[in-house]
Amino acid sequence: MRVGGVLLASGQGRRFGSNKLLAQVEGVPLYLRAMDTLGKAGLHRLAVCSPYTEILAAGENSGFLPLRNEHAAEGISASVRLGLSAMEDLDGVLFAVCDQPYLTTKSIIDLINSFQESKAAICALSWKGQRGNPVIFPRDLFGELAALTGDVGGGAVIRRHPDRLLLVEAFSTRELSDVDKPEDLSQ
Examine residue 15 and state whether it is found in any structural domain, yes or no. yes
Cα separation, 85 vs 60, whole angstroms: 17
At 110-167, the pLDDT tens digits run: 999 999 999 799 999 999 999 999 999 999 999 999 999 999 999 999 999 999 999 9
- Provide the CATH number for the domain around residue 145: 3.90.550.10
Residue 11 forms part of a structural domain: yes
The 10s digit of each residue's pLDDT in 7-64 is: 999 876 556 555 778 778 888 999 999 999 999 999 999 999 999 999 999 999 999 9
SS3 151: coil
Checking DSSP bridges between strand 45-50 and strand 65-68, what pairing results, if any? parallel
- pTM for this predicted structure: 0.93
3-8 sheet: strands from edge to edge:
65-68, 45-50, 3-8, 92-97, 130-138, 122-127, 165-169
Residue 76's domain comprises 3-182
Instruction: Tell me the CA distances in angstroms from 116 to 2, 15, 53, 58, 121, one per residue in order.
Output: 9, 36, 34, 29, 9
Give CA separation, 135 vs 8, 71, 162, in Å.
Answer: 12, 22, 13
Task: Please tell me the predicted confidence (pLDDT) of residue 166.
Answer: 98
Specify the number of domains making up the chain: 1
